[in-house]
Structure 1
């Protein structure tokens, strides 16, 4: 029945409540009785408990004497003989529905062996479900009825090996058939149009052993995009823009110096974070060079993106090539963080979630419309049991099948605290040291504030890192005001804030405490894929300055990311002054805007060496990556320097070094400052950084060069 054919409408809104809408144009919208009839022609009278006029309808709230049986069709009749089908309404968003239909099994999706192939789909509101199979060689299709089991799961077993067959589900809900791909699909055809049955065991690789990684603050994260990373003409990579290109070793730029993965290894980072590489919309996989996209348009959450594959039409190619990439990175002793986008889907109406269980997977506001805290038209309702299960199942899948070492949650503030705690627990059960970080922004989604996975609720998420926007905006200036100058640009208004974020955002000298409880909760960054790069902001903020001064400001900002307490996060190319030519939102801008320009690495090799030296200092000296707030408070003291100069004194418990000074001068003039008396070794100044320095300073004073940081150590 088409909705246009219905004279009036009836919805099941709670387990025992039916809402009926009669148009005023139909018998003045009046009826004194309503009955419900099931497939066996059993007729029961509904109790009318409330009536009100809304717009051009009369709305009747009716109570059922006994609950309906899901999976069956029902009909509502009024006193005039009018009839309509009972549609599944807001009941699917009730706790009672969640409790009744939660399915805890780990077998949703497809399981294929040499002799049989089994299918399971969770579709509790469907009255029929069919499996549509397509032979990839003959293109012959057949349709097989599925059987309803407990908890709203539909299943069928076919006693054949159906490897490489394409499949979809046909689902009948509210008298309308919808065709959908399996939400649990792990392989698809080009552009994700059909699910494909594969045997993942054929693609499995043993995970190489990695260097020990105990504490989140030991991480140094390097964010990049698989295509950006190698697409530049001088990347020296053969398979440019692809999984295989990012996995190539010993590649060289036109200066014959390392590029790509070998360069990253040499730089000293511990974790590569890739922008989303699950299947996304925005790039035609069959003509990938015609489009560009960051990847925040998720389509299939458990399938690798095809545009990074050498053959998007081969469902195995993207799986095998992504696994080769991860394996190659692990072979360099580096871990992989996956950027995951469980907060929304690309288009709600066409998503497999909405087609399989309409209305369940997304949040709705008080008027019954889909909420839009994400800004892209829909919010995933992670607090619902089967939505939470899907997210946790998906995380488990990526860890166990692809050996992912960590996750960056896009718009984590849309998700709920319990889901993130379940994610943390699941990751810990699979691999200790799994890094979980996320954007804990407080977004306008209908979830109580105390349940949101936001920075404000960090005490409920003690083992999850939060992107620290206070750090970002304090150090370089507001991200959303291009012309706002931050602490490193000499803005004294950010002075107190700078001291706070450099010492871990724990409220070092504040009785009320800080933004966060522990340094491991603070992901410190001044630049990422979003918004303007530091270089582009500097050029806009300070257009009259020469590039030499721009570079000094940039070096200071990046240096503070690496030397502050917490988890440092670098945007790829930040170390060679990455520019996007002023583009502040390059999510679908062309390659010449987004690509990692490997020529700049050669042009600014001095700065690359400097950043590499700071990474070495951070790794060698535990005082720059203290594990707890208590450790920071016990071993950190501020020197009494005049604003905006900052001096931090650390007691250092490593090697033969006992004391460390971090001195910061954001001013454009030299500054004479007092320091504790003694013989100090300079391991970082305005020109060089590295653990092997032999330059000495004696006495109680030092001259700080303009716009730079200085590190002194005492043996």
Structure 2
């Protein structure tokens, strides 16, 4: 805090032209200015951190100068970055230089043109460009309204573009902007915002901006036609924004004005179902053609809505939709989309299916949409008509329709990257303020550790887009929560700001409980920001204690076996607790002592997950030592990492990587019967649903969903991603998946896909679905599966059958306390019927939901005075009956 305040004082003094004091470094004089003409630097290794302070690498004793347009400005040495700034840890040791005459007006003018650093006295050294994000924040960061707002019958339109030389507002009746009119915009030098006003006769017209700006990568001034990053609706394919007011009743479905979303007060009461909008109905013949694969399908009576209603009745609380904001990868007009045609007659293991899909993959109607183009508008390809506000009405109606089923709508949000940067066709932000919105590496290149052009949400105005967009989705679409893609690439502080801003929304005023909105994300730690290199990240460890959830990879890997993205045969066949480890060896494993030891180790990891991965929870490990989860290792990190159960998002499958069924197809012995495959799948589902924390279910996981072994189906079309919510079709053997992510195991997959033993029938699908509904009902009925605090878990949960002499593949979990409600759960992940000696067995009875189950194996559960018998590959739940 002290250093940050000091920077603020230095910057303010520079703006006023007052001499600054307090720096200990002495300046190195420039002997003479360089006379060479300005050239375009090949990279940008210097960093403009404040109006009067620049970080630039150079050797001690050498001097540098700033070249800005026609100005050559000597710089004076001012120590290192770490002497003055806390907020740039990755630059801490870099030399810091001061501009003596750094008035606001002068710096602002320099930033509208080429700027570079030249070294004086270094033989053969070349100029370097400047990374200007921090100084733009220092000069122009603000919270003034942006976008297009209708106020008192007048459109107020604002664009943040501080480095632009001019900006012109353009409007058109035509959504593709072939003919347009120009409108002057005024520049506010204090905020960097260009603004204009139009009367309300422009409502429903389309608009964009012509931004005249210097582009360092080109070394010239260009005029970019750009869309408004804050636009809430677009013409087809996002060519132009549309001037619409979200508060206008004509954009609201019937009943929207009175619709209120009263959310569960306790996050632990929620169960999440991850679903893609297209997957929900694209293949459902009960859905009218014009609604298939879109928002409108959620409002009808069809196989999907009936299935969701059953799950909601049992205890499902929320549908998590893969990204639904405007994305770059799907042609929005149906006439522009291409589909592969009927592929049903092709062999189950043919290469032809993917070949047909590959030809049209970037022109069909399917993509996961993790390539956000605009953050404030719904994706148009899911609407009946992408031209106009239908997408707004239909999205809102989808939220209401899910609510009528008893379900909230969680949105998957992707603020860590954009589909493109620079002057590329799908670049938006970088064309408006070049060099600001994207995170740059040490050379000034855009980082892409997230697979696309990374965004720098540590920059104030990029963080604003994140926060402002989420307010719109919560307030104007009344969603029930948010899931952050690659949340670890954001600052912890940004996510906390989102939480606090959302908490200001009220049921009475805004129609949604802001304080009860669910927030969770991928807390992975990797890339250029790893280990808090640039800021304190929103990673698993750093989010503990915040109430914000992170995906529990410890539980996932122990249940499935192997690593999440294993592809080579040895890796994909690595078994876990719920895929036959030690109990059902496959052709690459065995039941030897090493496998037994691994089974005991992973059983401890499963126990940790069942206890919500709560830091400080302790039990007797496989070696007989009582250890806290803090002292148990998971790939170099503690096995226990959360403080409160709501922070653990427990899962065994998600849209990424093989489905749970496909994972088990690799791992279980090929001769495993269809019925037993169902039981292993049900075992994995049991562990996820009955663990402390928040269960997360991949759509179709309860229906034995298969993608025919496709590891990465983001662009594999409806064909490989198909789900039949009626439960009649399994869709195993849709053909060989694309080579890019599946090539290593293609030869084996070719054999497996032709194996009819892996094709499930309606009977097997129905048993898996019934098991999921039973589990949800039990969780919903028994508060002990939904404990509210870490302290409660530590006090009320314990395990039998632990230590070195335990029965491998068997977990016995006790919940509750003497004299109060008690539950015993037996997870028998072995192929043997097991008798458990239990002195108090006579006090327990099989849970009523399971007693009424059509599972024939549950009918063989036996209880006598001193033991409980549980059949093979079965989860049995017992309630204290006395």
Please indicate the TM-score interval, normalised by the length of the shorter structure: 0.7 to 0.9
- Change in Cα spacing, 1:196 to 1:707, as seen in structure 2 (3 Å) is same
The residue correspondences of 1:47-196 to structure 2 (distance < 5 A) are: 47=74, 63=99, 65-67=101-103, 68-70=106-108, 90=130, 92-94=132-134, 96-105=135-144, 107-112=145-150, 115-136=153-174, 140-149=179-188, 150-174=190-214, 175-196=221-242
Shift of 1:659: 1.4
Which residue in the other structure is 2:822 paired with?
659
**Alignment partner of 1:215 is 2:255:** no
Larger mean Cα displacement after TM superposition, 488-497 or 694-703: 694-703
Q: Distance in 2 between matches of 1:160 and 1:619?
A: 51
Larger mean Cα displacement after TM superposition, 366-375 or 679-688: 679-688
Residues 441-488 of structure 1: per-residue CA shift (max 9 Å, x gap): 1121246356111112123x5210001111111111122222121112
Residues 488-535 of structure 1: per-residue CA shift (max 9 Å, x gap): 234313111111111111152134632222211100000111110111
Which residue in the other structure is 2:450 paired with?
374
> What are the ranges of 5 or more consecutive residues in structure 1 without an aligned counterpart?
1-5, 21-30, 39-43, 51-60, 80-86
- Change in Cα spacing, 1:17 to 1:612, as seen in structure 2 (3 Å) is closer
- Change in Cα spacing, 1:705 to 1:312, as seen in structure 2 (3 Å) is same
Shift of 1:617: 0.5
**Alignment partner of 1:587 is 2:687:** no
The correspondence for 1:682, drawn from 846, 852, 858, is 846
Which residue in the other structure is 2:374 paired with?
300
Which residue in the other structure is 1:82 paired with?
none
Which residue in the other structure is 2:283 paired with?
232
TM-score of the two chains, using structure 2 as the length reference: 0.70
Which residue in the other structure is 2:86 paired with?
none
SS of residue matched to 2:406: coil
- Change in Cα spacing, 1:71 to 1:170, as seen in structure 2 (3 Å) is farther
Shift of 1:17: 6.9
The correspondence for 2:876, drawn from 702, 710, 714, is 710
Which residue in the other structure is 1:339 paired with?
412
Contact 1:363 1:446 survives alignment (8 Å): no
Q: Distance in 2 between matches of 1:115 and 1:555?
A: 58
Larger mean Cα displacement after TM superposition, 674-683 or 223-232: 674-683
Contact 1:647 1:662 survives alignment (8 Å): yes
Aligned-residue Cα RMSD (Å) equals: 3.3
Residues 213-235 of structure 1: per-residue CA shift (max 9 Å, x gap): 11111001111111100112445
The residue correspondences of 1:428-443 to structure 2 (distance < 5 A) are: 428-430=503-505, 431-443=514-526
The correspondence for 2:691, drawn from 554, 564, 580, is 564
Which residue in the other structure is 1:358 paired with?
434
The correspondence for 2:772, drawn from 591, 611, 614, is 611
Aligned residues between the structures: 666
Which residue in the other structure is 2:865 paired with?
699
SS of residue matched to 2:612: coil
Residues 556-613 of structure 1: per-residue CA shift (max 9 Å, x gap): 0011111010100111111110111111110011212112223436542222122111
Q: Distance in 1 between matches of 2:68 and 2:660?
A: 65
Which residue in the other structure is 2:576 paired with?
486
Larger mean Cα displacement after TM superposition, 8-17 or 163-172: 8-17
Contact 2:617 2:629 survives alignment (8 Å): no
Contact 1:13 1:88 survives alignment (8 Å): no
The residue correspondences of 1:348-427 to structure 2 (distance < 5 A) are: 348-349=421-422, 350=424, 351-376=427-452, 378-427=453-502
Q: Distance in 1 between matches of 2:477 and 2:526?
A: 31
Which residue in the other structure is 1:268 paired with?
315
Shift of 1:65: 3.0
Q: Distance in 2 between matches of 1:344 and 1:475?
A: 31
Q: Distance in 2 between matches of 1:524 and 1:456?
A: 16
Q: Which has the higher strand share?
A: 1
Q: Distance in 2 between matches of 1:75 and 1:342?
A: 29
Q: Distance in 1 between matches of 2:260 and 2:114?
A: 61
Residues 43-98 of structure 1: per-residue CA shift (max 9 Å, x gap): x6632769xxxxxxxxxx9956334242576689999xxxxxxx99635222x431
**Alignment partner of 1:520 is 2:657:** no
SS of residue matched to 2:500: helix
Shift of 1:346: 1.0
**Alignment partner of 1:284 is 2:449:** no
Contact 2:862 2:870 survives alignment (8 Å): no
Shift of 1:212: 5.4
Contact 1:306 1:318 survives alignment (8 Å): yes
SS of residue matched to 1:241: coil
Shift of 1:34: 9.1
Which residue in the other structure is 1:8 paired with?
39
Q: Distance in 2 between matches of 1:711 and 1:77?
A: 69
Q: Distance in 1 between matches of 2:550 and 2:672?
A: 34
TM-score of the two chains, using structure 1 as the length reference: 0.86
Contact 1:169 1:179 survives alignment (8 Å): yes
SS of residue matched to 1:424: helix
